[in-house]
Amino acid sequence: MAKKRLLIVESPAKAGTIKKYLGKDYSVVASMGHIIDLPKSSLGVDVDNDYEPKYITIRGKGDLLNSLKKEAKKADEVYLATDPDREGEAISWHLANALKIDPKSNCRVTFNEVTKNAVKAAMKSPRSIDMDLVDAQQARRVLDRIVGYKISPILWEKVKRGLSAGRVQSVATRIICDREDEIENFTPEEYWTIEANLSDTNKKSFSVKYYGEKGRETKLKDREAANKVTDDIKNARFIVSRVKRSEQKQNPKAPFTTSTMQQEASKKFNFQAIKTMQIAQGLYEGISLGGKLGTVGLITYMRTDSLRISAEAQKEAVEFLRAEYGSEYVSPRQFNTGKNAQDAHEAIRPTSINIKPADIKDKLTNDQYKLYKLIWERFAASQMASAVYDTVSVSVDANSHTFRAAGSSVKFKGYMKVYVEAGASLDKESAKMLPELKTGDNLELKDCSSKQHFTQPPARYSDATLIEELEQRGIGRPSTYAPTIATIVSRGYISRSKRQLVPTELGKVTTEIMKNNFRDIVDVDFTAGMEEELDEVEEGKLKWKKVIGDFYPKFDAELKEAQNNISKIKIKDEESDVVCDQCGRKMVYKLSKFGKFLACPGFPECKNTMTIRNSTGVICPKCGKGEILLKRSRRGKVYYGCENIPGCDFMIWYEPLKEKCPQCGGLLMKRGGKKGSVVCYNEDCKYERKG
């Protein structure tokens, strides 16, 4: 009689995908993430007894755990296939203990991609639970719990109820606040540029920019300096003094890591990091493609900082690219992973390059298609030949002054046939090519203009640039970037202004308190050093309780000092233009876990609150009375609905426009962002135009 086997994964979606790969002897169930954790109602760490954590069953998950226990009793063999990272290893360890499975037995199964071959191969080689990985997770969890649980009550008492502190989130907030200080304290400096429009003997025009005097680069700091140059060259002879032609190669970028994927999705699609990870999770866990393919995990594990790709994936890519584009476009390569990266996983890539984005577009949502296409193209390009440019640089002398120009044109597209990075453009490059020039050529000055400029302050961080900064400074790990940004925004420390992350008054005040009283917690180098120690725990070089033991005594002393040193701070709520309809005061903005709302400042005498009205100025086409308002779902997704709830249930996902459809007079909607299309809401009307 065949053995009954139970496989426990984290999510129902992944369970459904894997169930189709394994035979009838397997049951596949989901733990729904963590089942065991530190309690919410107390510290849960015995700081007087070697920092022993006190784990409990998460409230609301008792029935699920009992269900898993019943399933485990029915099975002859139980395998734990939670995600292949520290967090997943810890979940498996907790499950093993709860289900009375020996963690040293071969009960742990991991796979980097949810495909039939990968899952079946993993089932053939189970291993014991990696306690070094578990301990690294325990160290992070306990550190974060101690910091959050001990500092947050002080912030509640001294600043505002509901505040919280966090090891990584506090540093991220500080980085954004420090950048804002740089911007506010920035002093612009004046400078001038000069551009001359020249023509060659064939009357072909081109522009050159001022470089300097007597062969040295010269900065023009004011109008007087710029005027002196323009006066000097008015009647001067312009002679080509140097022409340099060369061939330049541009290599493709490596396949995505978590960080680079989030950055590129932010730049190209304006996806917030948390959204990118949610979409990637779905692509990883499995999409039903129908036919022979069935349900397939389309990408490899999406929490990784490794650039490695497997030999099998590389071989498949080379064969595909050679057949699709020709041998001259193929150049297999591996990329060096950084010294702090965890190389257990591969880079993010399609599970099979043969599953082309265009072929499965109808099986994916618009956002899934965008992200899958991005990952597919980046991976394909990484195994392709370099792009080649013909470049030319020219120096032109005029009365001891030097002007310069450079141009380039694409000689061979190489990897750019498949993928062009955000901000790059083949067309832009080809437009810069200069006319044929040689040393000694005489040129004619057609006109010359000078322009005043001022140096600009550094830009505020966006999701993309903050993630890049956190990664470069060694703060956090792939799994922490998206939730860190989401947390500091939801807690009201940071607000979003278009793509920019802007510190609020609350964020500035809290950061100042942290800098003055908990210097290590918001110190970038200290936090990066702590990440290195966690890596050493994972590598088995350091005991996790030593990490906590080295940290806690100094931190505990700071806590006692802070309690006495921090004065109570009153943060004034931002006033709105909305008048309270009960007492006449101007209402103020407040923040809850569901987002901003309006409240009367007369609390507790007046307890009036209102939701924030985000008007569109468009009348609902269904009831013809109410206005369509911008709203957010519980998960934060933007949608548009009629204000007459519950009387009218009109709802759309796309932005309504004030203009009427030119064909039927109905409601027009803008679909797909800035470069999307405008379509009619009326399904019988096929009107559509570019956005």
What is the CATH classification number for the domain harbouring 304? 1.10.290.10
Task: Please tell me the predicted confidence (pLDDT) of residue 636.
Answer: 61
396 and 302 part of one domain: no
pTM assigned to the model: 0.82
Give 519-529 pLDDT, tens digit per residue: 999 999 999 99
Burial of 299 (0-12, 13-18, 19+ CB in 10 A): buried
Using the predicted structure, report yes or no on whether residue 292 has a pLDDT greater than 90.
no
pLDDT of residue 612: 79
Mean pLDDT of the chain, nearest integer: 91
Residue 662 domain-assigned? no
The answer to whether residue 676 is domain-embedded is: no
Tell which of 584, 610, 636 closes a domain: 610
Predicted local confidence at residue 395, as pLDDT: 96
Asked if 378 and 394 sit in the same domain, the reply is: no
Q: What is the pLDDT of residue 425?
A: 58
Asked whether residue 376 falls in the same domain as residue 405, the answer is no
- Which residues have a Cβ under 8 Å from the Cβ of 31 and sit 6 or more positions away? 8, 9, 10, 64, 68, 82, 91, 95
Per residue in 603-623, pLDDT tens? 888 999 987 778 898 999 988
Question: Confidence class of residue 344 from pLDDT cuts 50, 70 and 90?
Answer: low
* One-letter identity of residue 525: D
Choosing from 348, 365, 382, the residue where a domain stops is: 382
Q: Is residue 432 included in any domain, yes or no?
A: yes
Q: Tell me if 592 is assigned to some domain.
A: yes
Backbone region of residue 414 per phi and psi (left: phi > 0; alpha: psi in -120 to 50; beta: other values):
left
Is the pLDDT at 343 greater than 90? The verdict is: no
What pLDDT is stored for residue 431 in this prediction? 40
Q: Span 462-481, mean pLDDT?
A: 92
427 confidence band (pLDDT: 50, 70, 90): very low
Q: Please tell me whether residues 315 and 414 are part of one structural domain.
A: no
Based on the fold, state whether residues 31 and 89 are members of the same structural domain.
yes
The larger pLDDT score, comparing residue 568 to residue 536, is at: 536
Q: Is the peptide bond before 604 cis (omega within 30 degrees of 0)?
A: yes
In terms of domains, do 396 and 366 share one? Answer: no
In the chain, how many domains are there?
5
For 313, left (φ over 0), alpha (ψ -120 to 50), or beta?
Answer: alpha
Express each pLDDT in 141-164 by its tens digit.
Answer: 999 999 999 999 999 888 887 788
- Pairing status of strand 5-9 against strand 26-30: parallel
Q: Which domain holds residue 595?
A: 575-610
Look at residues 454, 471, 493 and tell me which one is the last residue of a structural domain: 454
| pLDDT value, residue 428 | 42
Q: Are residues 321 and 409 in the same domain?
A: no
pLDDT at 429: 44
Are 487 and 377 in the same domain?
Answer: no
More confident residue, 409 or 349: 349
Q: What distance in Å separates the CA atoms of residue 169 and residue 477, rounded to the nearest whole number? A: 12
pLDDT above 70 (res 324): yes
Looking at mean pLDDT, say which of 504-513, 593-602, 638-647 comes out highest. Answer: 504-513
E strand residue ranges, 168-276:
190-199, 205-213, 216-217, 238-250
211-215, 443-447, 548-552, 563-567: least confident range: 563-567
Give 97: exposed, middle or buried? Use CB within 10 Å, 0-12, 13-18, 19+.
middle
Separation CA 260–CA 250 (nearest Å): 19
Residue 301: active-site member: yes
pLDDT for 430: 41
* Helix or strand holding residue 141 (H, E): helix 131-158
Query: For the domain that residue 96 is a member of, what is the CATH number?
Result: 3.40.50.140
389 has a pLDDT exceeding 80: yes
Residue 436, Cβ density class (10 Å: 0-12 exposed, 13-18 middle, ≥19 buried) = exposed
Alpha-carbon distance 566 to 107, whole Å?
A: 51
CA 681 to the chain's CA centroid = 32
Give yes or no: residues 537 and 585 share one domain. Answer: no
Q: What is the CATH number of the domain that holds 497?
A: 1.10.460.10
Q: Judge whether 21 lies within some domain.
A: yes
What integer pLDDT is reported at residue 416 of this predicted model?
Answer: 95
pLDDT class of 318 with cuts at 50, 70, 90: very high
**428 within some domain:** yes
Span 158-191, pLDDT tens digits: 888 778 888 999 999 999 999 999 999 999 999 9
Token pair 């394994």 is at which residue? 22
**pLDDT score for 432:** 57
538 and 589 fall within a common domain: no
Quick one: pLDDT band at residue 595, thresholds 50, 70, 90? low
Is 469 in the same domain as 556? yes
Determine which of 78-82, 391-395, 533-537, 631-635 has the lowest per-residue pLDDT on average.
631-635
- Alpha-carbon distance 254 to 300, whole Å? 15
Burial of 676 (0-12, 13-18, 19+ CB in 10 A): middle
Based on the fold, state whether residues 176 and 264 are members of the same structural domain. Answer: no
The pLDDT score that the predictor gives to residue 10 is: 93
- Residues 26, 51, 301, 552: which is the catalytic one? 301
What's the pLDDT tens digit per position in 67-82? 999 999 999 999 999 9
- pLDDT grade, residue 49 (50/70/90)? very high
Backbone angles phi and psi of 85, in degrees to 5:
-150, -175
Q: What is the pLDDT of residue 169?
A: 94
649, part of any domain: no
228 assigned to some structural domain: yes
